Structure 1
Amino acid sequence: MTHLRYITAIILIAMTAMISCKNEINITPTEQAQKDLIDALQGTWTAQEVRKENTVISDFANFSLTINDKSYSTENGAPVWPNSGTFDFENVETEDEFVRQDGRLFTASVNNGNLTITIVYQEETARGEYGTYEFLMSQ
């Protein structure tokens, strides 16, 4: 009879532990990296250098990007950046790839307080804006 009480007590303790674990919210490493990056992107960023096809250009000398959660506003970003919009991760498995509301993809990384955004602008215009742009920015 003592063995039966002992086994019953063990089963009850195990069941209680299993039930309490179900209320835990498990965040995957990717989700945590996404959350951390969104947090790091918040604020107003000013372009320090802009490159097109790895060549420094002056077209965006006064470009600034303000990010609030997953929305943004810009100054002097046309035609590559609209005045405002939203963005989200391209999919749940990416940690630095985003898609804007207009369907354009970009990557973003924050390192030592500096933001680097790379975007491929694909519209051919008379001014020749088509190409890969890299925005090196700071707050």
Structure 2
Amino acid sequence: MKTFRYITLISLIALTSMIGCKNEVTITPTEQAQQDLVESLQGTWTAQEVRKENTVISDFNDFSLIITDKSYSTENGSPVWPSSGTFDFENIETENEFVRQDGRLFTASINNSNLTITIVYQEETARGEYGTYEFLMSQ
């Protein structure tokens, strides 16, 4: 009989503690890094230097990028950057790889308040924009 009481008491305690627990949202380190990066991207960025295939070019001297949450707008970014759009992380495991609404992938990193975005532009046009672009930007 004592054993039955102990089992009943232990079952009651276990049931009570399970009912009292709230569902906690667990944020993984990668998700936290993603949230932190999106927050640090917010604002208006202006191009200080743009490279195509590691060569400095002047095509984007007046390029600016305004980021709000996971949306952006640009000035003087055509054809590599549309005038506006959205982006998101390529997948949940990446911390700095993004995909834009048009399917183009880019990476973004911030170092000492400077933003570096690298994007491969794959559309061949008469002007020859095909290539890897690196935008070095500041706020």
Shared fold (TM-score, shorter chain, > 0.5): yes
TM-aligned CA deviation for residue 20 of structure 1 = 4.8
Residue in 2 aligned with 1:119? 119
Identity %: 84
CA deviation vs aligned residue, 1:13-63 (integer Å, no higher than 9, x gap): 665555555422110111101100000000000000000001110100000
TM-aligned CA deviation for residue 112 of structure 1 = 1.0
Residue in 2 aligned with 1:70? 70
Residue in 2 aligned with 1:61? 61
Residue in 2 aligned with 1:39? 39
Across the aligned residues of Structure 1 and Structure 2, the Cα RMSD in angstroms comes to 2.0
How many pairs does the alignment contain? 139
- 1:8-19 aligned within 5 A: 18-19=18-19
Q: Tell me, what secondary structure is at the counterpart of 1:85?
A: strand
**Whole-angstrom distance in 2 between the partners of 1:16 and 1:102:** 51
- List alignment gaps of at least 5 residues for structure 1: none
**CA distance 1:12–1:115, shift in 2 (3 Å):** farther
CA deviation vs aligned residue, 1:89-118 (integer Å, no higher than 9, x gap): 111111111110100000001111110000
Matched, 1:138 2:134: no
TM-score by length of 2: 0.88
Q: Which amino acid aligns with 2:69?
A: D
Q: Tell me, what secondary structure is at the counterpart of 2:33?
A: helix
**CA distance 1:21–1:32, shift in 2 (3 Å):** farther
- List alignment gaps of at least 5 residues for structure 2: none
